Copies of this chain bind each other. A is one copy, B any other.
Amino acid sequence: MHPVVEILGSLAAVITTLGWLPQLLKIRREKKADDISLVAIGTIATGVLLWTFYGLFIGSWPVIMANAVTFLFIVAIVGMKLHYARAVQTGG
């Protein structure tokens, strides 16, 4: 594979992975995530997990790493969304 294409793939992997970080920080800062769809992030997390297994099967470290890290970010987003939703309900 041409080096430029490899770089493009790695860049795409890094950007789509790190792209979740500002969302995570915004929820932590504002302590709310009501507008985020739990069904959406749950579905995307499932898909990203499948991509991680796909990366394992094809032996592609960039695919494994990008999707494993993305999965962790999304799990953190789901966790915070549930936490702050509960805090609102219990007046905490």
**Interface residues of A, Cβ cutoff 8 Å to B:** 1-2, 5, 8-9, 11-23, 25-27, 30, 32-37, 39-44, 46-48, 50-51, 53-54, 57-58
List the 4 shortest-distance A-B pairs measured between CB atoms, nearest first.
A16-B47, A15-B47, A19-B43, A12-B50
Report B-chain residues with C-beta under 8 Å of the C-beta of A48.
12, 16
Chain A facing B: main interface SS: helix
| Complex-state Cα separation, A13 to B48, whole angstroms | 9
* A44 x B58 contact (CB < 8 A): no
Across the interface, do B15 and A43 meet the contact criterion of CB distance under 8 Å? yes
A1 adjacent to B43 (CB under 8 Å) = no
In the complex, chain B residues whose CB is within 8 Å of the CB of A23: 36-37, 40-41
